[in-house]
Chains A and B, each alone.
Chain A
């Protein structure tokens, strides 16, 4: 358990580091689509909602809260990617 936790922590640091290195190189022109795109990615918390949904048990209230989380995260993912696509399409035309 301890070792898994440490490994997870290591992965977290590595991911943050790669993210920092790559994102630092993104030009100012693309900062808005970067934000809306990374915004869409933050909706990945949908995975957590999918994982816990079957285990919520009898409580209707908790079930509704998970459903709200699912709605929020799905909106975030679909809307975020769709609008990012729209923005990047405008930059593509210039090639």
Chain B
């Protein structure tokens, strides 16, 4: 009976992933996955609910309610933090289970190593995720890479220490746990904010791998299957994010990229524009592409974007959204913010789909994005972003950049787009700038 429940659960998980392939069926995928999870968890009890005391049930009910509460209250702009936090919880749980199994049982050799692996990965995911959340909340600045390098250099001897120093042997489990904890903290602490999409996706993958290896210890096939699915999903997203920045995972994890201005010199003044002029410019356009970036999320400008979109569509102007894979702080961050204000996903385009259209676009509005539209990625071989796939907005007829100042983006370099002949700067916060444009429309 249990086997049949587990079989149904595994199949449901795979179906859920299949349904996830299209926005129109994706909400059903979530229902399938929830059902699969409920069956899997139910089967673990093996129809014997009396083995469990009240502390067990109270913990489940209280943390379940807490989960619902958190998920209902979180803002869509805080999604990266929330996913980061939940990654940490998943990894922490697997790490804790592995620790208990290691200290409680005499495991066979193969299980022993899997358990050590699960514990180390789980604890690393836990501490790394907590640091990622703190960084996303702006509570922690970049840490100097020197500390991380010193730690990495000392890591091999630190790992071997219990083997040499006999008195440590009894403590070695806790010792390895501590090392994993510190490694997670240091590794993520050196990585800059705009690299967080990679970090979050990577930690997501690790939480799956930790769960999968926990499945090996307790001999649960469903745990292995589900863990492997999560591990695979995280790895795919990690590699997509890295490709979108033309960097390797190792390079991102090494840290120290960005955050400091390398070169922010311009050899001419940018053309500054006003909300009124932008409104006039837009009302003569036939096609408009909006490029949202992290600045839109920070300014909470989604509602203003929707309002402008409606205003333009009422004038029969075509409006599209061009979304770079690493725009924002997690994969798909911008899409969710736009969907939140009811912008049709059919109007959201990926880099591959829209890049050929820029040359025939009348006006591009760059809203809080910078490095992902920097043409130096195509032209300057010495640039830190050289080779990164960018949105070719500089090829459009006119470009309006809504930005508070000329300050550089994450890569710390000047963006020649801002002084291009076809570009004008509207110096404003994303939300305020858009609202002023909308107001000006009423006067046009």
Contact = CB atoms under 8 A, between A and B. Distances in A.
12 contacts: A20-B232, A29-B348, A35-B330, A42-B207, A43-B211, A47-B41, A47-B223, A48-B94, A52-B100, A72-B93, A83-B79, A94-B23
Contacts of A27: 21-23, 350
Contacts, number: 337
Given A62-B103, A75-B66, A94-B342, A40 B59 contact: no
Nearest to A86: B71
A35 B37 contact: no
Contact of A66 (B90, B100, B215, B236): B100
Nearest to A29: B335
A8 to B, nearest CB: 6
Contacts of B335: 28-32
B68 A22 contact: no
Given A74-B67, A92-B27, 16 more contacts: A15-B229, A29-B23, A32-B335, A39-B86, A41-B208, A45-B94, A48-B97, A52-B100, A53-B52, A70-B56, A70-B59, A73-B93, A75-B70, A79-B67, A85-B27, A94-B344
A28 B216 CA distance: 32
A90 interface: yes
Contact of B89 (A23, A34, A50, A75): A75
B67 to A, nearest CB: 3
B71 A31 contact: no
Interface string A60-87: 0011011111111111111111111111
Contacts of A95: 24
Interface residues of B, number: 106
Interface stretch (B28-36, B288-296, B310-318): B28-36
A50 B20 CA distance: 29
Contact of B220 (A32, A51, A78, A81): A51
Given A36-B86, A44-B223, A65-B100, A31 B93 contact: no
Contacts of A37: 16, 20, 29-30, 33
A24 B74 CA distance: 28
B99 A65 contact: yes
B211 A44 contact: yes
Contacts of A63: 55
B52 A75 contact: no
A83 B18 contact: no
B52 A82 contact: no
A59 B101 CA distance: 13
B87 interface: yes
A12 B218 contact: no
Interface string B1-45: 000000000000110111011111011011001100100110111
Contacts of A89: 27
B311 to A, nearest CB: 19
A65 B228 contact: no
Contact of B30 (A49, A76, A78, A85): A85
Contact of B14 (A18, A24, A28): A18
Interface in B203-225: 204, 207-208, 210-212, 214-225
B340 A90 contact: yes
Interface string B191-206: 0000000001100100
Contacts of A23: 17, 20, 229, 232-233, 236
A41 B37 contact: yes
Given A31-B237, A47-B218, A38 B229 contact: yes
Contacts of A75: 63-64, 66-67, 70, 86, 89
A34 B20 contact: yes
